[in-house]
Structure 1
Amino acid sequence: MKANPSATSPVRPSQLVEHRVITGILDGTYPPGRPLPNERKLAEIFGVARPPLRETLHRLANEGWLTIAQGKPTRVNDYWEKGGMGVLSTLAKYIDTLPAGFVIHLMEVRSRLLPIIAGLAVEQAPDEVHTFLKAAGKIDDEVSAFVDFDWQLHLYLATQSRNPIYKLILNDFSTMFETFAAAYFSRPEAREASRQYYGDLSAAIPSGRRRVETVVMDAMVQSLTLWKSLNVI
């Protein structure tokens, strides 16, 4: 879930700075192209010392959120233009302030990525994937059971693809997935569609990679349609 500086557990200064800067960027307090207040002012506003403030600002600059140049004001970037995977990882912490359309864009990417991952996994380890999918028939008709199985399937396919980069990409979105998947699987028709998908995927394995990729793509398109009907984000 989103980082929350008001939570009862202690919050490190770096967490507080990240939260205030990122939510400020996402809600328009610090718009792209505009300078942030100087370090002294920000330290006063956030109630933190300047060393952790400076360290956090430089980390966010490395991710693409900010541009820091010696002797010049720190400027807010258009993170869609300047950001990389670090931006996506940080966005995963701020579910409640995601930009409009973000979830749909993310699911569209997923619909292109997962067929490739599944195809590679089946090409590399068809018997192992088939064995894993046998557990799908025993999933309880509960939201949490589907959230857990679906995520573990994602990770397992990424592992069996033999390309560790796919696993790294998915790991960045574990918190975001948990939140979105709970909303998605709260719909009975989503659970039924996924149960059908797991069966179709298992049945497609003997036909090879191309058939598997088609099955996964069809399922991703269906899930995107169902998600849009939720009108959550």
Structure 2
Amino acid sequence: MKPTSSSPPIRPAQRAEHKIVTGILDGTFAPGSVLPSERQLAEILCVARPPLRETLQRLAAQGWLTIAHGKPTVVNDYWEKGGMGLLSTLARYVDTLPHGFVVHLLEVRSRLLPIIAELAVKRAPDAVLAFLDKVESLEDNAPAFAVFDWQLQLFMAGETGNPIYKLMFNDFSVMFATLAAAYFSRFQARAASRSYYRELAAAIPVGGKRVEAVVMAAMEESVTLWKRIGREEG
């Protein structure tokens, strides 16, 4: 009897996407260059043309590529042409992210999450406080912190009353899970986050700008800690 695998087989379209996106990220397919013809690319990637065509159209819609009838497919500068759909694809390629991407992402979060927290506390202070009560039973290990921290962000985004915030954060669930494992493996990061959760809980009765200031300070500290992790691992 053959052993079964718990991992589903990789679909041809997924394989094509992986090879094209990683090729763009590592410079194999540089911005401004043209991809081989569909027939040649199908042979190079070892996929049939229908799933390859599906992949190319999806990547073009996200801004990775420009496809024009009767012309070669051009690789875009994704920083210039990409949109939110591109970010959700990038989230699946943490190991090949462009230099500085994680820091840029955390810097955006450090501006966005304070606003989200303030809105959430304004609309549902008791709910946010009840969520933060879980901190006292939070185990001191990376998986527990990674799950709690992400759930807190999603919870506050959901409590703002603006569903767009939740949609934006949902795109980064895979990326956050990978990055958080490295971040929270450091005792200093876990200690800083536990202090942040407690300070946020203490700020809720005050509300308003106090909540925003606590979250802003914690997010900026996370950027500093991540840069330090990058230097140590570099």
Once the two structures are superposed, the pairs formed by residues 47-62 of structure 1 within 5 Å of their partners are 47-62=46-61
* Deviation per residue, 1:129-183 (Å, 9 max, x gap): 1111111111111111111110110111011111111111111111110111111
Q: Within 1, Cα distance between the matches of 2:127 and 2:176? A: 24
- Which stretch shows the higher mean deviation, 183-192 or 58-67? 183-192
Q: Within 1, Cα distance between the matches of 2:28 and 2:160? A: 42
Task: Specify the code of the residue in structure 2 equivalent to 1:194.
Answer: S
Match of 1:22 in 2: 21
Once the two structures are superposed, the pairs formed by residues 28-177 of structure 1 within 5 Å of their partners are 28-177=27-176
Q: Within 1, Cα distance between the matches of 2:193 and 2:65? A: 40
TM-score after normalising by structure 1? 0.95
Q: Runs in 1 of length 4+ with deviation above 6 angstroms?
A: none
RMSD of Structure 2 on Structure 1 (CA): 1.3
Q: CA deviation at 1:8?
A: 6.6
Counterpart of 1:206 in 2: which secondary structure? coil
* Deviation per residue, 1:48-81 (Å, 9 max, x gap): 1111111110110000000000110000000000
TM-score after normalising by structure 2? 0.94
Match of 1:13 in 2: 12
Q: Within 2, Cα distance between the matches of 1:188 and 1:20? A: 36
Q: Within 1, Cα distance between the matches of 2:147 and 2:7? A: 27
Task: Specify the code of the residue in structure 1 equivalent to 2:44.
Answer: I
Q: CA deviation at 1:47?
A: 1.4
Match of 1:4 in 2: none
Q: Within 2, Cα distance between the matches of 1:138 and 1:8? A: 33
Counterpart of 2:205 in 1: which secondary structure? helix
Q: Within 1, Cα distance between the matches of 2:8 and 2:121? A: 43
Long gaps (5+) in structure 2: 1-5
Match of 1:218 in 2: 217
Counterpart of 1:211 in 2: which secondary structure? helix
**Seq. identity, %:** 65
Task: Specify the code of the residue in structure 2 equivalent to 1:88.
Answer: L
Match of 2:192 in 1: 193
Q: Within 2, Cα distance between the matches of 1:93 and 1:29? A: 18
Counterpart of 1:207 in 2: which secondary structure? coil
Q: Within 1, Cα distance between the matches of 2:161 and 2:116? A: 9
Q: CA deviation at 1:9?
A: 4.0
Task: Specify the code of the residue in structure 2 equivalent to 1:179.
Answer: T
Long gaps (5+) in structure 1: 1-6
